[in-house]
Structure 1
Amino acid sequence: MAGILAWFWNERFWLPHNVTWADLQSTEEASFPQAEDLYLAFPLAFCIFMIRLLFERFIAKPCALGLKVQANGPQKAQPNAILEKVFTAITKHPDEKRLEGLSKQLDWDVRSIQRWFRQRRNQEKPSTLTKFCESMWRFTFYLYIFTYGVRFLKKTPWLWNTRQCWNGYPYQPLMPDLHYYYIVELSFYWSLMFSQFIDIKRKAAKMANYCKYQKLSDLLFLTFAIVFIVSRLGIYPLWILNTTLFELYEALGNFPALWVFNVLLVVLQILHCFWSYLIIKAAYKAISKGKSGKWNPLHVAKDDRSDIESSSDEEETVPRSKTPHSTITTNGTGGANGTNGYITGGTCSEEH
């Protein structure tokens, strides 16, 4: 293990020429960043996750209920043993051939079976209340850390002159405010690593949508689009990439870690371009598909980056028989419940 750590923390990879880790040991006069500081993120990530659970339970949920956000989940599919077995053991998205087979087996029309599978898939999706609570947590944290970061940057000399970032580097004492900012950010994203398997991944603008405030939701989306494009395609390359690619090289010369980090930053910029394309595409749809066919900047189409909301798949369904006003069984028995493929008194109705 000692050999692996020594290889990983090789000074010639991480540090400029003629700089060693011993030079960066903290003293009474100055405190420098230490690799051991990264270990603080793990217990703090657990604390942040617990704070999130308390926040969603005692703050976000009451707010959601006060705003009349629906607490119930998607409509449940009518119990059916045969379809349930196919859904759980074979496929959640049956192809045309399987649909035809199920139609003959159950004596249902294909569209009713498709609707049942749609409802059954939606049944596993979280409720609007759950999605609102997660969105509110992320919105609250991002708002807090953004505000904190802006307050800190206002006091720094490198906000408008990025060359000042590298004055004396790497012999730059670690300021407590900066240390706190990075550790909290790192801990938050570690907490997301733990919770990513249960997260629903919704944005803050979704909160307005869940509350049925459509105009506010549209306005927030357009605001987000403008801020994202300006910051990712303007500020990021002109401030961040410019200083890390050129100004840092001029100040310190060449060393391996510099280029590794710059490659990662350039890859991030490529992703920014791709994401901006998707946002512009969504905004274009918003403008071109106004409710009345007229230009309407507040009518936002579905965000192409998001998955389909559960409500989009929900339809009022009661599987209908091919034969109206009849009693149908799939197991050769009669009864009064709707399980095991049994339907009583199914009446066909026109679908709207």
Structure 2
Amino acid sequence: MFSVHPQFQFNTFPLLLSKFHVHFMINTVIVFRMTVCVCVCVCVFASSSMLQTLNEWLWWERLWLPANVSWSDLEDTEGRVYAKASQLHAALPCALCMLVVRYVFERFLATPLADFWEVKDRIRLPAEINPLLENHFCSRARVPSQADVRSLCKKTSWSERRIQVWFRRRRNQDRPALRKRFCEASWRCVFYFFAFLGGILALYDKPWFYNLKEVWAGFPKQSMLPSQYWYYILEMGFYTSLLLSLTFDVKRKDFKEQVVHHVATLTLLSFSWIANYIRIGTIVMALHDSADILLEGAKVLNYAKWHRTANAMFVVFVANFMGTRLVIFPFWLIHCTWVYPVERFPPFFGYYFFNVMLVVLLMLHLFWAVLISRMLCKVIFSKLEGDDRSDEEEEDSDAAKERNHKLSHTNGPGARDRASGH
């Protein structure tokens, strides 16, 4: 017969199983943690190795510099200072400062100027609260088709005109006001003016400003000048601030092209700084700023209802744009970066990359030249009332009646004629 030890009882089995279960769980957790630690260590080691490899590849000398030139050749020596990638870190704080300066400028300078020139926003009647139409507006289309209008009429029991008026007013609610466009154009005009002035001061006494072959004299062992450093940092800070504020600024028809332009400009400036293409980079920036001053200035005057002066400035801008962006830029500057360098050293990756980015800017210039040509036609036929790229506000007949009614009551019987420009 099977005998059980007197000290051993069957009721001790649950206790033993419980202890075994606890020990098993503890060991499992320990093994799991050790496995996780090992995996993390392996991942960290692999990622650090990958980052090191990526870093070595990114700063491979043949990507940035001509043959027989190394980074050691561009180390600072007594009397010679070279551009370094780490110096570009100042562009981000500069961009944040630009946003602060812009806010102060628009708040305390542009807004009083708008008051002085009587730049006023149109009266906007709010769209009626309708969840069904709001859902269609946000998820499907801001401008409904005729079939959508008929369908919405059945769902809401509204007339077609009431549906169309609702969508017109709802679109106007999302559009920036005239004073906002005025302040934004004022800020850009002022910046481009001082940036262009600074660029000319940094270039006027340099031999490469008058003889483009001097751009490549001694390349890439060209010492950096303080004026070049500040010109680059301010321009990069400005375009970074535009990129950061793009979603809050006046939305234009060329929104995607604006993003491409800002990214291409920042890429071009960064690469030209690191590869020491600084001389040609400063000339390219000054060339672009010269036309932007006139464009933003014409927009400011147009918003202020100085239409004749604005149209005259716009014509000057068109001549400047076509001359600088479509003639000087491709046939002088791109020719300078495409032809002259190969006379001194064999082509390398940086040579091709820099020229490709310049061609991207040229393509954007051609796109904007088409828009500018349309605007010029409107100026000639006296129909230009704003930037052809802007998301213009649609006229609301009811709002116009209310505006004229308010003017007639507040300013007298002649106010309506004055509001119409007579």
Same structural fold, with TM-score higher than 0.5 when normalized by the shorter chain: yes
Q: Distance in 2 between matches of 1:36 and 1:10?
A: 16
Cα pair distance change 1:307/1:127, threshold 3 Å: closer
Query: SS of the residue aligned with 1:173?
Result: coil
Q: Distance in 2 between matches of 1:95 and 1:173?
A: 61
Contact in 2 for aligned 1:103/1:110 (Cα 8 Å): yes
Cα pair distance change 1:90/1:239, threshold 3 Å: closer
Please point out which of 216, 226, 233 is paired with 2:319.
Answer: 226
Query: SS of the residue aligned with 1:158?
Result: helix
Structure with greater proportional helix content: 2
* Mapping 1:18-57, distance limit 5 Å: 18-57=68-107
Q: Deviations over 1:113-157 (max 9, x none)?
A: 112211111012121111111111111111110111112221110
1:213 is matched by which residue type in structure 2? W
**What is the TM-score with the length of structure 1 in the denominator?**
0.80
* Mapping 1:269-284, distance limit 5 Å: 269-284=362-377
Q: Does 1:132 pair with 2:182? A: yes
Cα pair distance change 1:302/1:50, threshold 3 Å: same
Q: Distance in 1 between matches of 2:347 and 2:156?
A: 71
Contact in 2 for aligned 1:221/1:300 (Cα 8 Å): no
Cα pair distance change 1:256/1:314, threshold 3 Å: same
Q: Distance in 1 between matches of 2:212 and 2:114?
A: 43
Instruction: Tell me how large the CA RMSD over aligned residues is.
Output: 2.3
Contact in 1 for aligned 2:74/2:82 (Cα 8 Å): yes
Cα pair distance change 1:31/1:300, threshold 3 Å: farther
Contact in 2 for aligned 1:119/1:315 (Cα 8 Å): no
Q: Distance in 2 between matches of 1:305 and 1:62?
A: 26
2:368 is matched by which residue type in structure 1? W
Shift of 1:81: 5.2
Aligned twin of 1:342: none
Aligned twin of 2:267: none
* Mapping 1:231-242, distance limit 5 Å: 231-242=324-335
Query: SS of the residue aligned with 2:209?
Result: coil
Structure 2, unmatched stretches of 5+, are 1-50, 253-294, 401-422
Q: Distance in 2 between matches of 1:103 and 1:113?
A: 7
Q: Distance in 2 between matches of 1:270 and 1:101?
A: 42
Identity among equivalent positions (%) equals 36
Q: Does 1:262 pair with 2:355? A: yes
* Mapping 1:105-124, distance limit 5 Å: 105-124=155-174
Q: Distance in 2 between matches of 1:15 and 1:59?
A: 46
Please point out which of 193, 206, 228 is paired with 1:178.
Answer: 228
Whose radius of gyration is greater, 1 or 2?
2
Aligned twin of 2:25: none
Query: SS of the residue aligned with 2:207?
Result: coil
Shift of 1:35: 0.9
Aligned twin of 2:398: 316
Contact in 2 for aligned 1:49/1:191 (Cα 8 Å): yes
Shift of 1:270: 3.0
Contact in 1 for aligned 2:149/2:163 (Cα 8 Å): yes
Please point out which of 208, 214, 237 is paired with 1:164.
Answer: 214
Q: Distance in 2 between matches of 1:78 and 1:131?
A: 26
Q: Does 1:101 pair with 2:151? A: yes
Query: SS of the residue aligned with 2:397?
Result: coil
2:314 is matched by which residue type in structure 1? F
Cα pair distance change 1:101/1:271, threshold 3 Å: closer
Query: SS of the residue aligned with 1:254?
Result: coil
Contact in 2 for aligned 1:278/1:304 (Cα 8 Å): no
Q: Deviations over 1:157-212 (max 9, x none)?
A: 01121001111111111010011101110111111121111111585222222211
2:397 is matched by which residue type in structure 1? E
Aligned twin of 1:196: 246
Cα pair distance change 1:304/1:59, threshold 3 Å: closer
Please point out which of 361, 381, 390 is paired with 1:307.
Answer: 390
2:67 is matched by which residue type in structure 1? H
Query: SS of the residue aligned with 2:213?
Result: helix
Structure 1, unmatched stretches of 5+, are 291-298, 319-352
Shift of 1:304: 8.0
Q: Deviations over 1:52-91 (max 9, x none)?
A: 1111111111111111111466332344455445434554
Q: Does 1:213 pair with 2:263? A: no
Q: Distance in 1 between matches of 2:199 and 2:383?
A: 30
